[in-house]
Amino acid sequence: MAKGYIGRTEIEKDFIKAFNRLSYRHNPWTVWQHFINMAACSISNAVDRQPETWRRREESYLATVKAYDKEELDDFVKMFGLLVQALEENPAQDFLGNLYMSLDFGRGWSGQFFTPWHVAEFMAQIELANGVVFSELEKQGYISVNDPACGAGCMLIAFAQACRKMEKINYQRQVLFVGQDIDRVVAQMCYIQLSLLGCPGYVVVGDTLARPTCGPALRPVIHADNEIWFTPMWFSDVWAVRIAADRFRELIGGIGETAQ
C-alpha cells in the first residue's frame, strides 16, 4: 500500500485509493510500473505506426494486462482518467512526479530526487527572460528545449506553462520538447505527461552520457541503444512540415557539396 500517503487533492486521494486496491494483491512498485507502461503504450500506439515499435509496445501492453482481473483493470482505467483530469484542471504541476516521490518510489527504491515544482518554474522564467529564446524563434520559427535527466518531466512541463502564461509563445507550435533519462519508468512518466499536455517532441530512454541521442533535434537517430517515445503532437501537421523541410535542406546541402 501507499505507505500512509493519502494525497493532497481530491483527485490525488481518489488515485491513491485505486492504487491501494491494486496493491492489496500485487507489489506496489510492480503496480506503478505496470500502470505507467500501459498508459505510455496506449498513447504511443495510437499515433506511432512504425511497425516494429508498434508491435513491441502492443505485446508489452497485452502481457501486462494479463496479470490482472477485470475489476483491477477498471482501477487502472480510473487512475488514467484521474491523471487526465488532474492535468486538465491544473496543467502547471508534475502530477506523476509528485506521486512517485510521495509514494517513496524515488528515495526508497532508486535513490532519486525530483526537482520541486517551484524551482522548475523559477528556472523556466529565467530562461524565458533571456533574449536568446526570442532571437531563435525569429530565426527559425521554433525553439527546442532539452532536459538530459528529465525524470517525470517537471522542468519541461514548467517551461511549457511559462510559455503559456507569457502568451507570446505557442508551445504546441513553437517549442520542441526533448527529454532523456536512463530510468525507463520515469522516462515513460515524462512521456505520458508531455503527451497529455500537448507538448510536441519525444522522450529517450537511455544513458545521456554513455549513449547520447544523435542527429538533428527534428530528426533524432533511432538506434538499438536508445528507445524513443514520440508524443502525439510530434505527428501534427506543423511539425511534420518542419521535419520534411529540415530533411530537404540537408539534401540540398548535400547536393551542393557534391557539385563543388
pLDDT, block means (10 residues), the chain with 260 residues:
75 96 94 98 96 95 96 98 98 96 74 84 90 88 94 97 90 97 96 98 93 88 87 96 88 56
Q: Which of 100, 107, 66, 65 is nearest to 83 (CA)?
A: 100
pLDDT at 110: 56
pLDDT at 130: 80
Beta carbons of 196 and 188 less than 8 angstroms apart: no
What separation in angstroms does the CA of 171 have from each of 144, 180, 191? Answer: 10, 19, 16
Q: How many CB atoms lie within 10 A of CB 173?
A: 14
Beta carbons of 180 and 213 less than 8 angstroms apart: yes
Determine if the pTM surpasses 0.85.
yes
pLDDT at 114: 84
Q: Rounded to whole angstroms, how far apart are CA atoms 260 and 254?
A: 10
Place of cell 507538448: 199
Q: How many CA atoms lie within 13 A of 68 on its CB side?
A: 24
Q: Rounded to whole angstroms, how far apart are CA atoms 81 and 102?
A: 20
pLDDT at 255: 52
Tell me, letter by letter, the H, E, C secondary structure of the chain. CCCCCCCCCHHHHHHHHHHHHHHCCCCHHHHHHHHHHHHHHHHHHHHCCCHHHHHHHHHHHHHHHCCCCHHHHHHHHHHHHHHHHHHHHCCCCCHHHHHHHHCCCHHHHHCCCCCCHHHHHHHHHHHHCCHHHHHHHHHHCCEEEEECCCCCCHHHHHHHHHHHHHCCCCHHHHEEEEEEECCHHHHHHHHHHHHHCCCCEEEEECCCCCCCCCCCCCCCCCCCCCEEEECHHHHCHHHHHHHHHHHHHHHHHHHHHHHC
Q: Is the dihedral of CA 72, 77, 80, 85 positive or negative?
A: negative
